[in-house]
Amino acid sequence: MRDESIKMSLPETKELHGVKIVKLPVARYIKALNTLENLPNIIINSVLPEFGGLSGLLVQLQSGDGNIIEKIVVRLLTAVPTEFCRLVSELLNIPEERLLDVDNENPLSLNDLIEIIIAFWEMNDMTDFFGNVQQLKKLTAPKTADTGYKDGLQSLKA
């Protein structure tokens, strides 16, 4: 007789449009968070390297030069979807070519991609996780002495 609890603990998988959707392991979750954290710098440095990063970009935007602002906006509009697709490719383990190569034999449509992202989101629902983190924060928060005052200390009188 097999132990049913083993089956219950195995990660669920689902295949949609040829993409295997699985529960995200901790290491890939951390990697995705790091990528998301660095995404603005990645986009600015790869798309607008001549401005020298975010501070240089802000200086150019403050100059009010319409040509520079137009150049920045056009580049960002074309780069952001590409970088988003690279992030999705890495996170969901989809070959980048299926998202970015116009000559790919098995490309994903925008609707396919949205359906995959929704299925991934549903499978990796983090609601319970964030609730548990809040509960853990409450348990590990430093205790303050009850002094009868709102801030814990009696105010000094002048």
Q: Round to whole Å and give the CA distance between 43 and 31.
A: 17
Side-chain-side CA neighbours of residue 85 (13 Å): 18
Residues 53-78, mean pLDDT to the nearest whole number = 79
pLDDT of residue 5: 56
> Where exactly are the structural domains of the chain?
11-140
Measure the CA dihedral 125/131/136/138, to 10°. 160
pLDDT of residue 145: 61
Please check whether residue 16 is in contact with residue 116, taking contact to mean a CB–CB distance below 8 angstroms: yes
Of 17, 11, 24, nearest in space to 90 by CA: 24
Please check whether residue 48 is in contact with residue 57, taking contact to mean a CB–CB distance below 8 angstroms: yes
What's the chain's length in residues?
A: 158
pLDDT in tens, 138-153: 888 877 666 666 665 5
Please check whether residue 28 is in contact with residue 22, taking contact to mean a CB–CB distance below 8 angstroms: no
